[in-house]
Chains A and B, each alone.
Chain A
Amino acid sequence: MVAAACVLAWLGRGMILPRVARWLDVGERPRPADYALVLPGGEDTRPFVAVAMVKRGLIHGVLIPPTVVSPDEMDELVPPTHEIIRRCLVMRGVDPSQVTLLEGRSGSTWNDAEALSRFLEAHSDVTVAVVTNTFHTRRSRWVFRRMLPAHHRQFFFVSAPLDQFNAEDWWHYPDGCRTYLSEYCKFAYYVVRYGDRWGWGLLAITITVIWFRWQNSRDSVPSFRKPDDSGGPN
């Protein structure tokens, strides 16, 4: 049964794998907003989406969360990520006055959402287009909606496509495999780590009850015995 499922999955991988990748992409088409928030990571793609939106007149400003320092940044081999994003925006024609560095230090998507949360407390009536890569939009949306339930109508997600692979061919590239499979792991981790604890508790109790009932029903099925083994009177 398992082997048959594996064979079917292997034969149908051309149909299954693009869907697996597309499920992660909940990005919308670029549309008007007050700001674009460029999430760190993917500096070769995400800032260019914000630039394109500024040039098209869809947004008036760009927000960048400051990032924690990596070893290469510590050794000054590369500039900090937020600085790379800022330089890219300015070099592509965005006015420096349109770029706002948010408060805090971001090391994860959760931190990015916290930074936006602080910004929205001070600017309660603005709308924000959150720019991130295709595979990252579902997890980001989940995180931002949990962090900012009262503001969920004020932001939406725009997908930045990748050059090297996409949903249709990611499994042919090592970076594609790494990216999509890691993203599923991260999403699972976020759901467990930041998800509804009551919900998880309820699920654990339900599974335990079902398991015990299944065990009971299995043990109570009468087994075949020879008449001599019954132990009853002849």
Chain B
Amino acid sequence: MARRRRLIVALVCVASLVAAHRPILRITASFLVVGGVVEREPRVRDVLLDSGDLRHDAVATLFREGALGSVLIRKAPSSRLEQLGVVQSLAEVDRTELVKRGVKPKQIVFFRNRSEEFLKEWLEERPTSVVEVYCDRFASRSLRTEIHQLISQKDQQRLRFRPLPDRRFDETNWWRSRTGIMAFSGNVFWLGFVLLSPRRLPDKPILTPDEYETLVISNGP
């Protein structure tokens, strides 16, 4: 009798999971997203441009509304492909695209250290500045957690997060595409890392093309 009851409970659980998989998956993905459409306050805002699909258009909208202060863009250490000139740096792409959309070059501020470290200094030096962080939708909670770990509670009040949706997927359908699944799982692992291991090691230097090829060949026959 007990065995039969257990079997029925197991079947009911499986059937419920199958029937309710959409809301379950949607709620799970919603957990990764923080922030949203920011109500326009009268004051001008600065924007930290981290990532996100169609991010340049979003900044351009703010610019047209006359609400854009500075745009803060991280210049990461040059990759080998950038060193060779095969691709432009993402910071340079962002600058070009923003200027194309009318943003004035003097509004664009580049920085080299990590976003959270730079934001800490920026907010401390400008007590009235409000910063909107534009980022990938599913990356918003991880990024906010990482930034909040370094910034004082008082300064956190002056931060807004603007999670930008990807045109290929969102919370309601991410499991239907490979890119959606990869974005979801990658950001779950990132959030896990940020929550469990707040201390990050410093980044390692990137080898030059010559150094890298020598390393590969020295492993060879």
Residues of chain A whose beta carbon lies under 8 Å from any beta carbon of chain B? 29-31, 43-45, 48-49, 51-53, 55-56, 58, 71, 77-79, 84, 87-88, 91-92, 107-108, 160-161, 163-165, 169, 171-174, 177-178, 181-182, 185, 215, 219
Contacts and interface: CB of A to CB of B under 8 A. Distances in A.
Contacts of B53: 71
Interface residues of B, number: 43
A160 B220 CA distance: 12
Contact of A30 (B81, B85, B200, B219): B219
A178 B213 contact: no
Contact of A172 (B178, B185, B201): B201
A165 B202 CA distance: 11
Contacts of B189: 177-178, 181-182
Nearest to B182: A182
Nearest to A171: B197
A31 B216 contact: no
B192 A177 contact: yes
Given A71-B168, A77-B97, A29 B219 contact: yes
A178 B87 contact: no
B18 interface: no
Interface in B159-189: 166-168, 178, 182, 185-186, 189
Contacts of A165: 204
Contacts of B193: 174, 177-178
28 contacts: A31-B220, A44-B79, A48-B80, A48-B212, A48-B213, A48-B216, A49-B213, A49-B216, A52-B212, A52-B213, A52-B216, A55-B213, A71-B53, A71-B167, A77-B97, A84-B81, A87-B86, A160-B216, A161-B215, A161-B216, A163-B205, A163-B206, A164-B204, A172-B197, A173-B201, A177-B189, A219-B2, A219-B3
State the main secondary structure of chain B at its contact with A: helix
Contact of B93 (A48, A51, A77, A92): A77
**Which of B2, B186, B192, B197 is packed against the most chain A CB atoms within 10 Å?**
B186
Most chain B CB neighbours (cut-off 10 Å) among A48, A172, A181, A219: A48
Contacts of A219: 2-3
A58 to B, nearest CB: 7
A57 B113 CA distance: 41
B207 interface: yes
Contacts, number: 103
A173 B199 CA distance: 9
Top 5 A-B pairs, shortest CB-CB distance: A52-B213, A30-B220, A52-B216, A172-B201, A177-B193
Contact of B185 (A48, A56, A87, A185): A185
A28 to B, nearest CB: 10
A92 B200 contact: no
B221 interface: yes
A178 B182 CA distance: 10
B67 interface: no
A31 B216 CA distance: 12
Given A160-B216, A173-B201, A215-B3, A84 B87 contact: yes
Contacts of A169: 201
A51 B217 CA distance: 10
Given A163-B204, A164-B203, A172-B201, A71 B166 contact: yes
Contacts of B36: none
B221 A29 contact: yes
B92 to A, nearest CB: 11
A169 B85 CA distance: 30
B190 interface: yes
Contacts of B81: 43-44, 84, 88
Contacts of B167: 71
A120 B120 CA distance: 56
Contacts of A107: 178
B203 to A, nearest CB: 6
A52 B217 contact: yes
Contacts of A48: 80, 209, 212-213, 216
A26 B36 CA distance: 44
Contacts of A49: 213, 216
